[in-house]
Amino acid sequence: MKQQITRWIITLIFLGGWGATSVKVYAEQKDPTGISFYVLRVIYPESEKGGVTLRAYNKTPNAYLMQSWIRPVDFTTGDVDLKDDGHTAMPFIITPPLQRFEPGEELALRIRRAGAELPKDRESVYFISMKAIPSQSKPKDEQISPQVNLAIVSNMKLFYRPDGLPESGVAGAAPDLKFSLQGDMLVANNPTPFWLTFSHLSVGGYALDKSQLRLMVPPKGQQQYHLPPGTRGDVEWQLIDEDGWNTAGQRQSPSSH
- All structural domains of the chain, each given as residue ranges with its CATH number in brackets, are 3-161 (2.60.40.10), 170-256 (2.60.40.10)
Question: What pTM does this model have?
Answer: 0.84
**Closest listed residue to residue 59, CA positions, set 78, 37, 81, 80:** 37
Residue 60: DSSP 8-state = S
Pairs from 175-179 (Cβ < 8 Å, separation ≥ 24) = 175/250, 177/217, 177/237, 177/250, 177/252, 178/252, 178/255, 179/235, 179/252, 179/254, 179/255
Bridge partners (DSSP) of residue 110 are 53, 95
DSSP 84-150: --S-S--SEEEE-SEEEE-TT-EEEEEEEE-S----SSS-EEEEEEEEEEE-----SSTTSPPPPPP
At 29 the pLDDT is 42
Residues 6 or more apart whose CB falls under 8 angstroms from that of 145 comprise 139
- The HSE-up count of residue 252 (CA atoms within 13 Å, CB side) is 20
- What does DSSP say about strands 34-37 and 52-59: parallel, antiparallel, or unpaired? antiparallel
At 86 the pLDDT is 73
Single-letter code of the amino acid located at 198: F
Q: Which H, E and C letters describe 167-219, residue by residue? A: CCHHHHHHHHCEEEEECCEEEEEECCCCCECEEEEEECCEECCHHHHCCCECC
At 138 the pLDDT is 56
**Closest listed residue to residue 187, CA positions, set 212, 170, 210, 211:** 212
What is the residue-level pLDDT of the chain in tens, covering all 257 positions?
Answer: 444 443 334 444 433 322 333 333 333 445 557 888 888 899 999 999 999 999 999 999 999 999 999 999 999 999 999 888 777 889 999 999 999 999 999 999 999 999 889 999 999 999 999 999 988 655 555 555 555 556 778 899 999 999 999 999 999 999 999 999 999 999 999 999 999 999 999 999 999 999 999 999 999 999 999 999 999 999 999 999 999 999 999 999 999 87
